[in-house]
Amino acid sequence: MRIKWFSLVRITGLVLVLIYHFFKDALPGGFIGVDVFFTFSGYLITALLIDEFARFRSIDVIGFLRRRFYRIVPPLVFMVLVCTPFLLLVRTEFISGIKYQIAAALGFVTNYFEIVLGNSYENQFAPHVYLHTWSLAVEMHFYVLWGLCAWLLACMSKTIRSYKVKIAGASLVLLVATYLAMATGAQSSTNLSIQYFSTQTHVFPFFIGALLSCVAGIAQTGELFDQLEQKLSTQLTLVGLVASCGVLVFLSVFMHFEDLFTYTFGFLFASLAAAAMIFFARMLHQKTEGINEPGIVSFVADTSYGVYLFHWPLYIIFAEKVDPVLAALLTLVLSFVFASCSFYVLEPALAGKSPEIFSRIKLDGQKVLRGAGLALIPFAAAVAFIALTAPQLSDFQNDLLLNASLQEQSAMTMTRKHADTSQASNYNVVEGVTYIGDSVSLRARSYLQDALPDAQIDASVSRNVAVDKIVDMLPRGHRLIFVTPYDGRNSDPNAGANAIRAHELELAQQYDFITIADWAQVAQDNPDIWAGTDYVHFGSDSDSINRGGTLYAQMVKDAVDKANQGHVKP
């Protein structure tokens, strides 16, 4: 039973994700499109399980998992086969360690793969090509565990009413537990991507959808839904649908990935808005019996899963070669082409059906499978070759490891030198410079050492600092220099690196012992060092690395010279 207007829910989730990935500054919270998908999947799957129990008084859990497998896995494999060979066209940062990405994607563990690596969802030098499959991992985990739970509850139920009560109770308990895990875990987290990726924290939208299915299902709608359907007019139902969609758009505009609000309330509000949209779409189906869903709406909804799969790797490839707008257009066109091939041709053939094109042309399923198999053999061979020969580490990662090794070698030498030769200041503080930085500093380590030969440099990948805490903990007699962060991907002045820079500038105005090394300004003034990068770590070749490292080190040296002429913390 196809419910009209559910397509609008799918399309809303897809559009939010696409805009977020293509033009993040325009929709910084568009990542909640995934939560729309999660909520809808939880609703749809649970509603279908309830309908199955209503018909047969049992749940065929093996059949359920088989259907999920055929819906999810073939398009995923198709995407990996098609997209991986084209990675040869872009820089090695995207292809290094690709076999692990492929294994994680096909094994539905990308979310935990990213957690183990310590990666941030938004901030990576070269985003993983199959990073977006983290959501498939969460979805598959839900299908397996919830399918088994629904089967067990069916074994303990004799009537549809008792089954729905048990499903609702289990959904509510799991919803509260997993939401609290998300909200409380974020309070003490140093990397919010852990809460974002983790199944046990980000699975709660599924249970919001599951809970909704108990009161407003597909075939089993429920008394409350029927009563409201009688009371609400078509116009009010449509207003409710548009308003809930508007809430999602509002949240997408004002939410940011690194904001604590996003994890404590944002994802919850987004999931509830998605549930409201599902509810009103279900009701609108009842009220528009004589109206058919537009074909284009059905098409976009049908292919939404495939478009989601293909868009991210294709956009990464195109964005390396052309401007973002053209990259987005090319990505959209090819994503819909490949998604259509998957949904209308390959998937029906694999299910033993005869594929239909434009509802007119029927194809022989066996011939389609043989032809597709032959056509994909070269792609499979290319994927195998790339996976086996791709470097374990990218040039950027090798550079960081080399600089970290050199840093360790020089650390003991510098410590001994300071201990032997340094003299205390009036505050009994040893003269000298200690530099503490992140991966950007590590990339510039050799340049910093040349500019400040006596400095002790401690740079580390993915280092996070609490600016105010540093000011408070700075001992008397010391001077403090803040190097402002730069993230060329984010133009929002109130978020991310821009917000940190603004706060550091305020602190420098407040305290005379703080000096600013304005890397953000230097970075903006020198766009040549950012070509082919992630716009956080400068340099994609030897010339731009040398140029960026020299600029960075000189900026720090100038700040040190300026600070030496100023005050110390009293």
Could you give the C-alpha distances from 570 to 356, 427, 469, 511, 554, in angstroms and in order?
Answer: 79, 9, 17, 10, 28
Summary count for the chain: helices (H), strands (E)? 26, 6
In this structure, the answer to whether residues 196 and 255 fall within a common structural domain is yes
Residue 385, in any domain of the structure:
yes
Q: Which of 26-35, 415-424, 440-449 has the highest mean pLDDT?
A: 26-35
Q: Is 43 helix (H, G, I), strand (E, B) or coil?
A: helix
How far apart, in whole angstroms, are the C-alpha atoms of residue 255 and residue 67? Answer: 35
CB 280 within 8 A of CB 6: no
Tally of CA atoms within 13 A in the half-sphere of 219 that contains its CB: 11
For position 407, which CATH number holds? Answer: 3.40.50
Residue 117, in any domain of the structure:
yes
Kindly provide the b/e burial profile for residues 485-513, where b requires at least 16 CB atoms within 10 angstroms of the residue's own CB. Answer: bbbbebeeeebbbbbbbeebbebbeeeeb
How far apart, in whole angstroms, are the C-alpha atoms of residue 232 and residue 230? Answer: 6
CB atoms within 10 A of CB 360: 6
Domain boundary among 349, 370, 389: 389
Helix then strand then coil, % of the chain, to nearest 5: 70, 5, 25
The yes-or-no verdict on residue 429 having pLDDT over 60 is no
* Residues with Cβ within 8 Å of residue 21, at least 6 apart in sequence: 30, 311, 312, 315
Q: Mean pLDDT over residues 406-428, rounded?
A: 51
pLDDT digits (tens, 9 = 90+) for 512-538: 999 999 999 999 999 999 887 778 888
In this structure, the answer to whether residues 187 and 45 fall within a common structural domain is yes
In this structure, the answer to whether residues 433 and 318 fall within a common structural domain is no
CB 248 within 8 A of CB 273: yes
pLDDT digits (tens, 9 = 90+) for 531-568: 877 788 888 778 888 999 999 999 999 999 999 999 99
CB 520 within 8 A of CB 489: no
CB atoms within 10 A of CB 303: 24
Residue 375, in any domain of the structure:
yes
How far apart, in whole angstroms, are the C-alpha atoms of residue 259 and residue 116? Answer: 22
Tally of CA atoms within 13 A in the half-sphere of 82 that contains its CB: 21
In this structure, the answer to whether residues 333 and 443 fall within a common structural domain is no
In this structure, the answer to whether residues 417 and 367 fall within a common structural domain is no
**125 is written with which tokens?**
């030098």
How far apart, in whole angstroms, are the C-alpha atoms of residue 228 and residue 282? Answer: 12
Residue 1, in any domain of the structure:
no
Categorise residue 535: left if φ over 0, alpha if ψ from -120 to 50, beta otherwise: left
In this structure, the answer to whether residues 309 and 442 fall within a common structural domain is no
In this structure, the answer to whether residues 533 and 421 fall within a common structural domain is yes
Report the interhelical angle of 267-287 vs 223-231 (nearest 10°). 70
CA trace torsion 287, 293, 294, 295 (10° rounding): -170
In this structure, the answer to whether residues 406 and 358 fall within a common structural domain is no
Residue 378, in any domain of the structure:
yes
Burial class of residue 389 (count of CB atoms within 10 Å of its CB; 0-12, 13-18, 19+): exposed
CA angle 395, 397, 403 (to 5 degrees): 100
Query: Which residues span the domain enclosing 558?
Result: 395-564
In this structure, the answer to whether residues 133 and 262 fall within a common structural domain is yes
Q: Which residue has the tokens 């105010």?
A: 468
CA angle 539, 20, 111 (to 5 degrees): 80
Q: Which helix (H) or strand (E) holds 517?
A: strand 514-517
Q: Is 322 helix (H, G, I), strand (E, B) or coil?
A: coil
pLDDT, residue 360, reads 77
In this structure, the answer to whether residues 62 and 191 fall within a common structural domain is yes
pLDDT, residue 403, reads 54
The yes-or-no verdict on residue 412 having pLDDT over 50 is no
Residue 569, in any domain of the structure:
no
* Predicted structure pTM score: 0.81
Q: Based on the structure, what is the number of domains in the chain?
A: 2
pLDDT, residue 143, reads 97
Could you give the C-alpha distances from 302 to 305, 333, 336, 341, 416, in angstroms and in order?
Answer: 7, 15, 10, 12, 67
Burial class of residue 85 (count of CB atoms within 10 Å of its CB; 0-12, 13-18, 19+): middle
CB 267 within 8 A of CB 252: no
pLDDT, residue 385, reads 93
Domain boundary among 340, 364, 389: 389
Is residue 217 very low, low, confident or very high in pLDDT (cuts 50, 70, 90)?
very high
pLDDT digits (tens, 9 = 90+) for 293-320: 999 999 999 999 999 999 999 999 998 8
Q: Mean pLDDT over residues 273-302, rounded?
A: 95
Residue 560, in any domain of the structure:
yes
In this structure, the answer to whether residues 400 and 381 fall within a common structural domain is no
The yes-or-no verdict on residue 291 having pLDDT over 50 is yes
pLDDT, residue 444, reads 86
pLDDT digits (tens, 9 = 90+) for 96-150: 889 999 999 999 999 999 998 876 655 555 678 999 999 999 999 999 999 999 9
CB 42 within 8 A of CB 135: no
DSSP of 394-454? -HHHHHHHHHHHHHHHHHHHHHHHHHHH--B-TTS-B-S-EEEE-HHHHHTHHHHHHHSTT
Average pLDDT, the chain: 89
In this structure, the answer to whether residues 293 and 350 fall within a common structural domain is yes
CA angle 118, 466, 509 (to 5 degrees): 140
Domain boundary among 389, 416, 440: 389
**513 is written with which tokens?**
């012992």
Residue 570, in any domain of the structure:
no
How far apart, in whole angstroms, are the C-alpha atoms of residue 27 and residue 502? Answer: 22
